[in-house]
Amino acid sequence: MKRNTVAAVAMAALLALSGCSTMLSPGGGTGTVNFYVSDQPGAIDDFDHLNVTLEEVTFVAADGNETTFDANGRVDLTELRGANASLVEEYDVEEGNYTKVFLGVAAVNGTLTDGSSADVKLPSEKLQLNSNFTVGNGEEVDFVYDINVVKRGNSGSYNLLPVASESGTDVEINEVGEAEESDGDDSDEEAATDTPATATEQGSLAFYVSDQENAIDDFESLNATISEVEFVGADGNRTTYEANRTVDLTELKGDNATLLSTYDLDAGNYTTVFIRVSEVNGTLTDGSSADVKLPSNKLRLNENFAVEANETVDFVYDITVVERGNSGAYNIRPVASESGTDVAIDRVDDDEDDGAETALNATFVGNVTAGENATVRVTANGSAVENATVTYNGTEYTTDADGEATFAVPENATEVEVTVTFEDAEAELETELENSTDDTADDANAAYTDTTAAVAV
């Protein structure tokens, strides 16, 4: 019988509102550019379809260095009018300032609304866009490359041209899907699981929200509703938890942080944390409503950290709000330099944790063997939960001050299933007692129900 160790790793993931608005020179770090293609309405209404096959994307840094990536995608510009945009790929580039983006095009095929083929020209085999933008170390930016189709006089022919005024990192995005025939490595929502499937070695993660100062002083209040938190392991596995919590970032300046929740994670290395934001509402100091945009519905932070079994980790997720030029509008984005497991935390909700939800965790202590006693340990926030109810074979047991409850396992038992409840939270724990051809059949499997596995403590 294998021992199934569940770690209590309280990982404080701070959502901090930080924001260096200074320009960066090229450095040793990397950031991520989410590269979108869109279409500014021009002569696009003449077309039933206008398919553009993308070959490569080249980013030109302020120092002249060029970085080229394969695109290998195809987009139909008729589907990308206005703010509609299609994600081509996520590219990891060197941190620093960039001045130009080239888009190599392999083929253009257009069909007009009357069913005839269109003569669409690309003066050269690539489009050049002059656009200044900055990628910070470990940060993610959304970049839109807007393309316009224009008619060449009365010739019946058309040209493709980039549109600088509708391109860049501070334009609205209504994502409508990914480019066809891309490598499809961005598995995002489909690859995510709502909760950990097995009770392998795990840690619990105390997730905080904080706010590092930048343009936050423009705001009387800035409420962000966080709907989900997703952790991506070094092996690519994803674990997603519901959050459903609204935080006011004006209360979380500097090192101030609020505990969002505590999550269980399998022990191991992690590389990326996504926060999905369902709504942002800001009120400026003059009482007017603020135009605050999240180019997509999620924030992505590239940050390497480790979760050890039976340990507690505090993790800060720092966010900045920046003004988009002199437009009076704002963007929110993560800040890698103020995020991670080694940043200062001044917790502002130690005395009032009413808004923080905590996942209830249950694990078997040691091996579970037929004919012997079995012990279940119950924790939340990495701490023992006293007076939790453990139900086995219809009999209820109550956890002691150490969060443990012990019961007898019948000699003929082939599996042990227990249900743990505490206040409004519930966890289920199961282990097989017989050998199986499945190498993992004797692992203890803990399933945490989305609707009941969180309790405010």
Is residue 439 scored above 50 in pLDDT? no
**Tokens 């900045």 map to which residue?**
320
CA-closest candidate to residue 232, choices 199, 202, 187:
187
Q: What pTM does this model have? A: 0.45
Percent share of the chain, pLDDT over 90:
12
What angle is formed at CA 346 by the lines to CA 320 and CA 299, rounded to 5 degrees? Answer: 30
Is residue 102 scored above 80 in pLDDT? yes
- Banded pLDDT at 396 (limits 50, 70, 90): very high
For the record, the structure tokens of 76 come out as: 């139909």
Q: Please write the tens of the pLDDT for every residue from 319-340.
A: 878 776 566 778 787 777 788 8
For the record, the structure tokens of 172 come out as: 């609205």
Q: Please count the residues of the chain.
A: 457
- Decide if 388 contacts 427 (C-beta within 8 A): no
Q: What is the pLDDT of residue 181?
A: 52
Distance separating alpha carbons of residues 323 and 332, to the nearest angstrom: 9
What single-letter amino acid sits at 25? S
pLDDT, mean of residues 362-370: 86
Per-range mean pLDDT, top range of 1-10, 325-334, 386-395, 433-442: 386-395
CA-closest candidate to residue 433, choices 125, 2, 30:
2
Distance separating alpha carbons of residues 210 and 226, to the nearest angstrom: 13
Q: Please write the tens of the pLDDT for every residue from 197-224.
A: 344 455 546 555 554 446 788 889 999 8
pLDDT, mean of residues 217-238: 87
Is residue 451 scored above 60 in pLDDT? no
Percent share of the chain, pLDDT over 70:
73
Q: What is the pLDDT of residue 74?
A: 84
- Banded pLDDT at 407 (limits 50, 70, 90): very high
Residues 6+ apart with CB under 8 A from 261: 206, 207, 229, 241, 243, 245, 356, 357, 358, 359, 454
Q: What is the pLDDT of residue 5?
A: 33
Q: What is the pLDDT of residue 389?
A: 95
Q: What is the pLDDT of residue 303?
A: 82
Q: Please write the tens of the pLDDT for every residue from 367-385.
A: 889 999 999 988 876 678 9
Q: What are the chain's domains?
A: 30-178 (no CATH), 358-456 (2.60.40.10)
Q: What is the pLDDT of residue 382?
A: 63
Q: What is the pLDDT of residue 332?
A: 83
For the record, the structure tokens of 305 come out as: 């950290």
Q: What is the pLDDT of residue 38?
A: 62
Q: Please write the tens of the pLDDT for every residue from 162-196.
A: 888 788 888 777 776 666 553 434 333 333 333 33
The lowest-confidence range among 124-138, 168-182, 244-258 is: 168-182
- Decide if 169 contacts 239 (C-beta within 8 A): no
